[in-house]
Amino acid sequence: MEILKSPLQCQIFVVTGVLSTIVSCGLGLGYLSIFLEQNGADNINSFRSNSKLLGYIETAGEIAFLPSIVIIPIVMQKKGRRLASIVTTIPLLISWLISFNAKNFISVLCVNILNNISLGGAVTISSIIISEFCDPKYRGIFLMLETGMISLGVLLSHIFGIFLHWTLVSSLGVITALISLITTYFWPESPYWLISQGHILKGTEVFQTLRGTAEESMEELEILLITQKRKLQLNALKPMKVINLREKVTNYLKSLLKADFLKPLSIMILLFSFIGFGGENIMSNYKLTDVFNLTNGKYIGTIILDVLTLVCSLTACVLIQIVKRKTLFLFTSSFSIIFLGFTSILLFLQSFEIFSKDYLWIVLSLVTGFVMFMSLGTTALPFSLLGEIFPMSYKGVGSSLTCAYLWAFGNTIIKSAPFVTNSIGVHGMMLLSILMMILILILINKIMPETNAKTLLEIQQLMKLTKDGDYEVTSLTHELEESENFDRLQLFIEV
């Protein structure tokens, strides 16, 4: 880090490590299908055609996702962001090394399990790392790049699987995992985490390295130090008391009932519910890629959708610098609903043979428009907000619960979609989704704050509610004045 000349270069260096992990996870998402498609060994064929064994592989990967979204955030909260990132990437590297010699059911199973362990960790901590390391001016574009990089990884795996050889996916997976590990090794620790742990001098030094000494950066640092000092003041005023494990657990659970945790958790649940109703059911039931089915088992529709998703994700990185985040989400979500609504109407007319199925291209155009607007911001923004919206003390548990809900809700939608589709048809499924999406969007518009260009501490203040139900933004200038007499604590809280 010492050889980097500017704070922005330092931030880009950190983000490179995070995005490399995400690209590698994206490659992992497409690995299994292209490996089984290309590998012709007899012992692979023995379970390639066995849907029961393939089901075991997929289920094992889904189950492996769960402990990682609990354990890795705990590591992040207790031991720091840097170690959590390393712990996330190591299983990924191991999985890619195993994949080169994957010749039987067990080896393929291990690859899928290790990939999903890293995917769970990356989903929970990547946004938090970027949010804490990066300047608010650049934080939006870096966060939006996460979705773009996962799309890039999926696209590359499909291209290699269709036109080249599957071992290239493994090679690129090893390279991206190594880039992540090497860059993470040279990271400093997050200044927010250091200061929250009482390492004031070290945290201040790292903050200035990452953000520079501009007026806005120094003001953010000063407010961060004041917040920590006030926390120490409150702890110092509490009576000394030895409490047992049960009381610790009870007190912690009570803290999770506070508004500054429940409000961001509610917002994240609504955002991911919107994505669930809008995405998983449509793409799993209305199989757009089947329409583009070519010979030799190759689906050009998959490549088209991957390219479209990647282009829209990168376009969103530009839009986030121009349009406010809440505005972008509401705009893209509204148009997603509109395209989905027209698709539902046409499919309903087709079911009664009022609209000819010869005009299938119209339906495909509408579904493509729906995918485009979802990718322009609707899908990416919730993952970006995950790193910003929870207060420092709740980041670990907040990201774990959010990702657990995302996993549970997504799987519920996928498992129940065939039954609902058989009962009311694809058009009925879409109509039901539209109604739920409209309701959720109204709630999001009411309770979701604008986080554009705000520091993490300013966002934290937005999460606090007054008795009247309005957002309470406390006077940070007043806190500056109150903390002057407490500056002496800095002499002995540095470890």
CA-to-CA distance for 240 and 392, rounded, in angstroms?
Answer: 24
Cβ 91 vs Cβ 117: under 8 Å: yes
Q: Is the pLDDT of residue 357 over 70?
A: no
CA-to-CA distance for 49 and 226, rounded, in angstroms?
Answer: 62
CA 165 to chain centre: 29
CA-to-CA distance for 275 and 296, rounded, in angstroms?
Answer: 33
CA-to-CA distance for 476 and 189, rounded, in angstroms?
Answer: 26
CA-to-CA distance for 402 and 45, rounded, in angstroms?
Answer: 38
Which tokens in the block code for residue 245? 């494990």
Half-sphere exposure of 170 (CA within 13 A, CB side): 18
Cβ 90 vs Cβ 22: under 8 Å: no
> Which domains occur in the chain, in start order?
1-211 (1.20.1250.20), 257-495 (1.20.1250.20)
Which tokens in the block code for residue 288? 């757009």
Which tokens in the block code for residue 246? 């049960």
Q: What is the band of 494 on the pLDDT scale with cuts at 50, 70, 90?
A: very low
Residues 472-480: what's their mean pLDDT?
44
The share of the chain scoring above pLDDT 70, in percent, equals: 82
CA-to-CA distance for 331 and 349, rounded, in angstroms?
Answer: 28
Rama region for 233: left / alpha / beta (φ>0; ψ in -120 to 50; rest): alpha
Max distance between CA atoms of the chain, in angstroms, equals 79
For residues 444, 445, 447, 448, the Cα torsion angle rounded to the nearest 10 degrees is 80
DSSP, res 238: S
DSSP, res 450: P
pLDDT in tens, 272-322: 999 888 765 455 444 444 444 433 444 566 777 788 888 888 898 888 888
Q: Look at residues 154, 130, 151, 452 and name the one whose alpha carbon lies nearest to residue 314.
A: 151
Which tokens in the block code for residue 495? 């470890």
pLDDT in tens, 12-50: 999 999 999 999 999 988 888 777 776 654 445 555 556
Q: How many residues does the chain have?
A: 495
Return the top range by mean pLDDT from 15-24, 160-169, 484-493: 15-24
Q: Which residue has the higher pLDDT, 437 or 284?
A: 437
Identity at 419, one-letter amino acid code: F
Q: Which residue has the higher pLDDT, 162 or 444?
A: 444
Q: Is the pLDDT of residue 405 over 60?
A: yes
CA-to-CA distance for 285 and 471, rounded, in angstroms?
Answer: 41
Q: Look at residues 267, 291, 243, 223 and name the one whose alpha carbon lies nearest to residue 483.
A: 223
Mean pLDDT of the residues in the chain: 81
3-state DSSP of 35-91: HHHHCCCHHHHHHHCCHHHHHHHHHHHHHHHHHHHHHHHHHHHHHCHHHHHHHHHHH
Which tokens in the block code for residue 236? 């110092």
End-to-end CA distance of the chain: 23
Residues 6+ apart with CB under 8 A from 55: none
Rama region for 448: left / alpha / beta (φ>0; ψ in -120 to 50; rest): beta
Cα torsion 452, 272, 332, 290: sign: positive
